Amino acid sequence: MRCPFCGHEDSQVKDSRPTEDAGAIRRRRQCEACGARFTTFERIQLRELTVLKSEDAGGGFKREPFDREKLLRSVSIAARKRPIEAAQLEKLVSGIQRQLETLGENEVRSGKIGEMVMEGLKGLDSVAYIRFASVYKDFREARDFEEFAGTVSEVGKG
């Protein structure tokens, strides 16, 4: 592990422990060259995942590696300025990643990931849920928002 301060390659692990969501290992390290201490987080990855995205013209799929940080960014954008802790979003994304890795498939459609995010946000915050849905479902007019928001308030009453 490269030291973020001096760039030296070797560091010594001083402490290791799982994170709260158990999806990563927190390691406290010390650089052998400059003596600086720093923390790293190592994610446990069960399998390599490939995301299948729909192609517009040919009807085939575009393949790209699953990117946890990209998923976290999109969820964070939907939850911006909402009373949601960063740890809650981390836990949501970690849960989705674990579910995907345990499906037993190396390739997963982007639509499946979108549905999982919507299900997670639905229980977390209705505004973040609607924000994410507006992009995921590609709302084009205000009426699309109104119709979808109506279904959200009905869900909340049931």
**pTM (global) more than 0.75:** no
Q: How far apart are CA 76 and CA 86, in angstroms?
A: 8
- pLDDT single digits (tens) 20-57: 767 788 899 999 999 999 998 887 666 789 999 987 66
61-65: strand order across its sheet: 61-65, 50-54, 107-109
The pair of structure tokens assigned to 27 is: 């390691």
| Rounded-to-integer distance, Cα 157 and Cα 145, Å | 19
Report the alpha-carbon distance of residue 61 to residue 54 in Å, rounded.
5
Helix, strand, coil abundance in the chain, percent, nearest 5:
45, 25, 35
CB contact at 8 A, 38 and 23: no
User: What pLDDT digit, counting tens, does each position of 115-127 carry?
Assistant: 999 999 999 999 9
Higher pLDDT residue, 30 or 158? 30
